[in-house]
Amino acid sequence: MTIDPGLSEMHPGDPIRSSDWNTLASAVGGLQIGVTGAGYLGVSQFTSEIWERSTTSAAYVPAVKGTVAFAQKTTVLVAGHGHGLTRDKDVSLDIAIYVDGTLLGRRDNTSELAPWGAGVLQSNANSLSSWNQVLALGSTVVDAGSRAFEIRFRARGGGKEVLFSGASLWVVRLGPAA
């Protein structure tokens, strides 16, 4: 087993090389760790082909899409990140995660517009020209097969422009679902 000699000097929260993680996890738990997109543990990152997008739509529009294949039912953590700007204090930029076309984190039987884990940017009069980070975060269980993940954004209420730039989508495979 060849691992980073400085690994024993690390503190909680320090980054660890994926090769070290795979070696350690295999040694201590006998975990099956795949080397392809169908692996049990791992991270897939997707970025937008267009750096900056804008919309005035009240309906969610795509920002970043990606597809990940799973060998079995798997627990995933999904994060959507980017920078947002609103130029009107009365409109917010919302970002949300979709899995296989379904809004992740939607409360059942409610009329609420924003799901759990959605990112919301509402500027005030003093920050109308400032770009701010926006993050959407959620966890779910996906069945085996190819799954489509997507970050979408909108101008809540519509009619006023919002901008979303540098968007990225992260799908973290946490392991087989029980």
For residue 112, the enclosing domain spans 38-176
Rounded-to-integer distance, Cα 130 and Cα 18, Å: 35
Closest-CA residue to 60 (of 177, 148, 158, 139): 158
Rounded-to-integer distance, Cα 88 and Cα 38, Å: 43
* Blockwise average pLDDT, block size 10, the chain, 178 residues: 64 62 54 45 88 94 95 91 88 91 71 62 69 89 94 91 94 86
- Do 62 and 137 lie in one domain? The reply is yes
Residue 168 pLDDT: 94
- Do 7 and 90 lie in one domain? The reply is no
The CATH number for 43's domain is 2.60.120.40
Rounded-to-integer distance, Cα 68 and Cα 172, Å: 10
Q: What is residue 100's three-state secondary structure?
A: coil
- Do 20 and 44 lie in one domain? The reply is no
Domain count, the chain: 2
Tell me if the pTM is above 0.75.
no
